[in-house]
Structure formats: C-alpha cells, structure tokens
Structure 1
Amino acid sequence: MRALRRRRGERGASAVEFAIIAPVLLLLVFATIQVGLYMYARNVAQTAAREGVSYLRLAGDNPNADSYLGRAEELSVGYAAKLGRLDGVNADGTIDETTGRVTMVVQGEAVLPLGGRVTVVQSADATLEQFRVDPRGAP
C-alpha cells in the first residue's frame, strides 16, 4: 500500500524533469548547429581565398601582372557563391613584386539561424611562380 501511495505522489515528476532539462538540451543542439554553420562559412571563405591565390600566383613573370587581379577576385567571389552560406562576398587581391608574394582576402556575411549575421574574413597568401633560366644551360 505504501508503494502505491509513493507512486501517486510521484505523478508528473517525469514531466517536470523533462520541462527543466528540455530547454537546456535544445539550447545545446541549436548552439552546436550555430557553431557548425559558422565554421562552415569560415571554411568557404578560406577555400575561396586559396582558389584566388592559386590563380594569382600565375601572374609571375607576366609584365601585366595586375591584369590577373580582377580575374582572381572574380574567381574567389564565384567560388564562395558556388559553395554557399556567405552573403555579400568581397575579395581583395594584392601582388607585392618586391617580396614576390600574392595575397587574397575574402570577406562575407554568414547568416546564422538563431542570431543574425556575423562577418567572416579569411585570407591566403603564397609566393609568385617565377621561372628562371637554368644558369648551367641545357645538357
């Protein structure tokens, strides 16, 4: 009989426990989704910057190296648009002929489902490909 009374006194305990724990679990799930989407947006920007640098490296010994800038920037923006998750993508490439380095900076806004927009900025750099004549000559 005591066991029966105890069960009657515990009626609804599971519902109360669930009501306390459910919001915390939902918050953790949505926070994980937010972080995952942010990391994906960063990865998209980084990959787009690498694609632009890969193209920009070809400017090397070209006398009109600046003509590569516009095409490399278009390539980065197009690549970011193709992968998605970034709005308002902007790419800015530079060629430093004194150091022989090229840089591409990609910036965009990631739309997160629970909290508006966050700006993502990623960059990549590399050395220019420059071909020199072998001083030893051809065998």
Structure 2
Amino acid sequence: MTVPARKVGRERGTSALEFSIIAPVFLLLIFTIIQAGLYLYARNTAQSASREGVSYLRLAGNNSDPDAFISAAEDVTEGYATKIGRLKNVTAVGTINTKTGRVTMLVIGDAVLPLGGSVEIQQTSEATLEQFRGDLRDTP
C-alpha cells in the first residue's frame, strides 16, 4: 500500500461527522432568525394597532362625551391587532386626559412562536387630543 491510499482509508466518514456537528448549529441559527423575525413583526403590528387606536381617540375632543369613544377605540385596536398581526389574547386600554389634552392607547397581546411558546408584547402610543375651537376674536 502506498501512503496516499492509507490516508484515504482513514478519512472515510469524516464529512458525515462534520455534517452531524455543523447541521444542528446551522438549523438552530435559522430557526432563531425566524423566531426573531416573527417577534419583531408582532411588535410592529402591536405598535401599528396602538397608533390606529390613538388616531381614533384623537377625534373624541369635539364630542360632548369624549369617554364614550374609548370603548369603540379599544374595539378597533383589538380587531386590528388580532386580524393583521395574528396576536392572541389582545387587550387594548385607551385613556383620554382632557386636562392635558393627551390620548394614549396601550396594546397587550401574546405572539405565538412556531417552535412553541408565546411572548407577551406591549406597545403604547400617545398623541394630542384634537379639539376644534371656533374663532374667539371679536369681529366687527
């Protein structure tokens, strides 16, 4: 036997061993990237839903009873987060502070991950309450 022939015989199965070591690490990396992407998507959707709710709540300023808008805004927000973002157990909490002229919407929901488990997502948006005030100047 020559020396190169012996080397070939000793290296049989090396690629299978290398594959068995690298494949789990590579698959873990791929699934981690997928999980992170789905988490960021759910977080972005919760933020968009809270912005939707805030934009709805901002219109309550000219109403005689601004607090009546809160439940409708919460329903709009929860529907948006459930349908678009596929969040589960969504809860929206809206507040209107007429003294400071600010409205806020908090969205809390669970993002279900494909490898099992779920992560709680919380996002808040805040904006100024829109109020129309007529011209208060004296006109001649």
TM-score by length of 1: 0.93
Deviant stretches of 4+, over 4 Å: 135-138
Kindly provide the amino acid, as one letter, of the partner of residue 66 in structure 1. Answer: D
Q: In structure 1, list runs of 5 or more residues that go unmatched.
A: none
| Percent of paired sites with the same residue | 59
Aligned-residue CA RMSD in angstroms?
1.4
Match of 2:88 in 1: 87
Q: Equivalences for 1:1-139 in 2 at 5 Å? A: 1-135=2-136
Kindly provide the amino acid, as one letter, of the partner of residue 77 in structure 2. Answer: S
Deviations, residues 51-110 of structure 1 (Å, cap 9, x unaligned): 000010000121110111011000001111111331010100000011100000010011
Matches of 1:32 and 1:123, distance apart in 2: 26
Residue aligned with 1:60, SS: helix
How many residue pairs end up in the alignment?
Answer: 138
Matches of 1:85 and 1:2, distance apart in 2: 63
Residue aligned with 2:36, SS: helix
Residue aligned with 2:90, SS: strand
Shift of 1:134: 3.4
Q: Give yes or no for contact 2:46–2:85 (8 Å, CA) kept in 1.
A: no
Matches of 2:103 and 2:122, distance apart in 1: 17
Residue aligned with 2:4, SS: helix
Q: Give yes or no for contact 2:41–2:85 (8 Å, CA) kept in 1.
A: no
TM-score by length of 2: 0.92
Identify which range, 21-30 or 3-12, moves more after superposition. Answer: 3-12
